[in-house]
């Protein structure tokens, strides 16, 4: 199916190459998958004993799904990268977590391969029905949110592979930095990058299991995290080190700069503004901030 945009919209070069007839999925064929979501509604909140709590999370919808080949000569190459045309207005693009921005899902101006939810779903359904095995980080949650049933035998979730019982789950960023010695998601999420990272982590997992070193490596990572924290690590001289934190002077300077900018903006707003209007605007900003936080918690995948 061609992209939904008309001929007047200039598209980016596709980030994917469709499967060739010789690559058609067979039972056990391996693919890496990652999906991104947007929020269609704010979280619902209510007062309980004088405290505002979230009673219902944001309603999320599939916005992008990427599938990579997991085997063969083209292993790691993307075969599906669908952006989904939304059937209703987007409340929050959750850009920090999804990498999506306004316009990405709009047929009138999106530069990406835009398709319908039904078409994207049918492609995934075909892979599932062919017996394909999917590897990814947080896949169970992705499939649940996409509303597609995948047999457990066809899911390899790196969240579960690298998880010690009765311990916290490790983020994709932490695992990538510790096991692959690479940095991902530095500014935002990208589903192709995340799927490729999960595929590489699965390779590392299989190698560690073959060498009988998996349990020791898992304990090593948890020991590190408990001692130094769960942020991505930095490798120097063959040893992991905690990521450098901003110097106190730099933090203070940034804070002072931000405070000065905020003060200047406030002074500008107050010039000729009514006190009641300022109070209403402040409440509106707080209201938006709480909604944004609720939407991000709803995403909560990584």
Contact indicator for 26, 130 with CB cutoff of 8 Å: yes
| Per-residue pLDDT tens listing for the chain (302 residues) | 677 766 767 788 888 999 999 999 999 999 999 999 999 999 888 888 888 888 788 899 999 999 999 999 999 999 999 999 988 999 999 998 899 999 999 998 899 999 999 999 999 999 999 999 999 999 999 999 999 999 999 999 999 999 999 999 999 999 999 999 998 877 777 999 999 999 999 999 999 999 999 999 999 999 999 999 999 989 888 888 888 765 554 444 544 444 444 444 434 443 444 434 434 444 434 433 333 333 333 333 56
Confidence at residue 287, expressed as pLDDT on a 0 to 100 scale: 39
> Please, are residues 62 and 40 in contact by the beta-carbon 8 Å criterion?
no
Residue with tokens 């062919």: 130
Residue 48 burial (C-beta neighbours within 10 Å; 0-12, 13-18, 19+)? exposed
What is the CATH architecture of 21-245?
2-Layer Sandwich (3.30)
Which pLDDT belongs to residue 151?
A: 97
Q: What is the pLDDT of residue 6?
A: 65
Query: Residue 31 — φ and ψ, nearest 5°?
Result: -135, 150
pLDDT of residue 206: 98
Give the DSSP letter string of the chain.
---SS-TTSPPPPPS--PPPGGG---TT-EEEEEEEEEESSPPEEEEETTEEEEEEPPPEEEEEEEEEE-SSTTTT-EEEEEEE--SS--SB--HHHH---TTTT-TTT--S-EE-HHHHHHHHHHHHHTT-EEEESSHHHHHHHHT----GGGEEEHHHHT--TTSPPPPHHHHIIIII-----SSS--HHHHHHHHHHHHHHHHHHHHTT-HHHHHHHHHHHHHHH-SSPEEEETTEEEEPPPPPHHHHHHHHHHHHHHHHHHHHHHHTT--HHHHHHHHHHHHHHHHHHHHHHHHH---
Q: Report the distance separating Cα 177 and Cα 248, nearest Å.
A: 25
């Amino acid at each position: 199916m061609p992209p939904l945009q008309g001929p007047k919209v200039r598209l980016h070069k596709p980030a994917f190459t469709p499967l060739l007839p010789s690559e058609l999925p067979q039972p056990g064929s391996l693919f890496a998958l990652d999906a991104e979501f947007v929020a269609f509604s704010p979280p619902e909140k209510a007062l309980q004993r004088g405290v505002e709590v979230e009673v219902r999370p944001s309603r999320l919808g599939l916005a992008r799904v990427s599938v990579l080949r997991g085997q063969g000569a083209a292993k790691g190459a993307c075969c599906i990268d669908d952006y989904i045309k939304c059937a209703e207005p987007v409340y929050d693009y959750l850009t920090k977590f999804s990498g999506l921005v306004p316009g990405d899902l709009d047929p009138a101006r999106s530069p990406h391969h835009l398709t319908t939810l039904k078409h994207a779903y049918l492609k995934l359904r075909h892979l599932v029905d062919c017996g394909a095995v999917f590897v990814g980080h947080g896949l169970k949650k992705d499939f649940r949110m996409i509303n597609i049933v995948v047999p457990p035998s066809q899911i390899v979730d790196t969240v579960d592979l690298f998880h010690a019982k009765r311990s916290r789950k490790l983020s994709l960023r932490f695992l990538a930095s510790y096991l692959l010695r690479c940095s991902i998601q530095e500014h935002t999420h990208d589903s192709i990058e995340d799927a490729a990272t999960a595929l590489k982590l699965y390779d590392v997992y299989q190698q560690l299991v073959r060498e009988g070193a998996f349990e020791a490596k898992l304990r090593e990572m948890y020991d590190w995290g408990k001692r130094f924290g769960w942020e991505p690590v930095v490798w120097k001289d063959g040893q992991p080190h905690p990521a450098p934190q901003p110097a106190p002077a730099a933090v203070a300077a940034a804070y002072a700069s931000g405070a000065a900018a905020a003060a200047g903006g406030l002074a500008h707003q107050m010039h000729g503004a009514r006190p009641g209007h300022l109070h209403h605007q402040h409440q509106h900003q707080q209201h938006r901030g709480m909604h944004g936080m609720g939407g991000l918690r709803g995403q909560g995948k990584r």
